Structure formats: C-alpha cells, structure tokens
Amino acid sequence: MTALITLHNRLFDWVTATLAPVLVPTAARLVFAGVLLVYFWSSAFTKLGAGLFGFLHPSVGAYAQIFPKAIDAVGYDADMLPLPYHIIATLGMWAEFTLPLLITLGLATRLAALGMTGFIAVQSFVDITGHGVAGDDIGRWFDAASGALILDQRAFWVLTLLTLAMLGGGPLSLDRALRQWASG
C-alpha cells in the first residue's frame, strides 16, 4: 500500500511541477477565448457610437446596458446625462474590447484578468439592480440546477479569470515572450 501511495504522490508531484504550469494557464486562456471573447466583443460592438469616432461616443444602447434606469429617466437622451456617465460608458466599452483581447493574447494577463473579474462583478450587479434579473436567473448554489446566469455561469467565468490572475498567461503567451526578451 505504501508503494502505491508513493507512486501516486510522485506522479502528481511531477504533474503539479511540470504539466500544470503549462496546461492550466494555457487551457484557461483557450477556454476564455472560446467561450467569452466573442460574447464580450459582440456586446462591445453594440456600444459603439456612429461614425469613425464611435469609439469616443458610446451609443444610446451602451447607456441602456450600463445605466438602464438613468438613461430611461432622461428619455434615452444620453446628452442629458452628467459627464461621469459618459466617462464610465466610454471606459466600459473600451474595457470590453481590450481586456478580452489582452487575455486571449496573454499580454498583461494578470491585470487583464483582474480587470475582467471586476467587469463581471459590475455587470452582474447591473443585471440584478438595473435590468431586473431575479430568481432562478440569479440562481442558487448547492441546488440541482447548474445553468443560472449569475451564480452558476459567472462563477466559472471568475474562476477561470482568477486562475489567470494567479498563474499568468502561461508559456504560450506574449507575457512570457516579453519576459524572455527583456531578460536577454
């Protein structure tokens, strides 16, 4: 029995030391890109304003997604909102484009993953308080259902992001390439 335990320990010590640092962050970035990159970019595109400089002037839809009650209160006239709303909408739109791209490329992965974690927390808060997501759509942990929008799905999103925040982008990332280039 001792030999079996020793074999188990040696095998998984080797996996933890050798394979996990390569596979876990690489798989986390691949899963993020496969599941969430297009999701967030599709949402970000709906926030772009009209014309060449639409990235500087979010659409009314951006305000409706981020500040549903505030934009409704001003009759969907974004010009009636105070400056902080415009700044937050613009920065949120930019974050929705840049943070998923950085994670996918493995560039500033840890910071981008922390930023996306915060983004998802705010997104979830707005979904509940601004868009009226409630009940089964919020979900409950430790029940038989596993598909609730907030507590189930987004918990996995955040787990993936926290994995990247702790482990970085892995060996197949621009972070690693830049680190190697900088060290000469």
pLDDT means over runs of 10, the chain (184 residues) = 91 90 96 97 95 93 96 96 97 97 98 98 96 92 88 95 97 94 89
pLDDT at 81: 97
pLDDT at 114: 98
DSSP 3-state of 89: helix
Specify whether the CB–CB gap between 128 and 57 falls below 8 A: no
pLDDT at 169: 96
pLDDT at 144: 85
pLDDT at 29: 98
> Terminus-to-terminus CA distance in the chain, angstroms?
49
CA angle 49, 42, 88 (to 5 degrees): 50
pTM for this one?
A: 0.91
pLDDT at 65: 96
pLDDT at 131: 95
CA R_g for the chain: 21
pLDDT at 179: 93
Question: Quick one: which of 129, 119, 142, 148 has its CA closest to 32?
Answer: 119
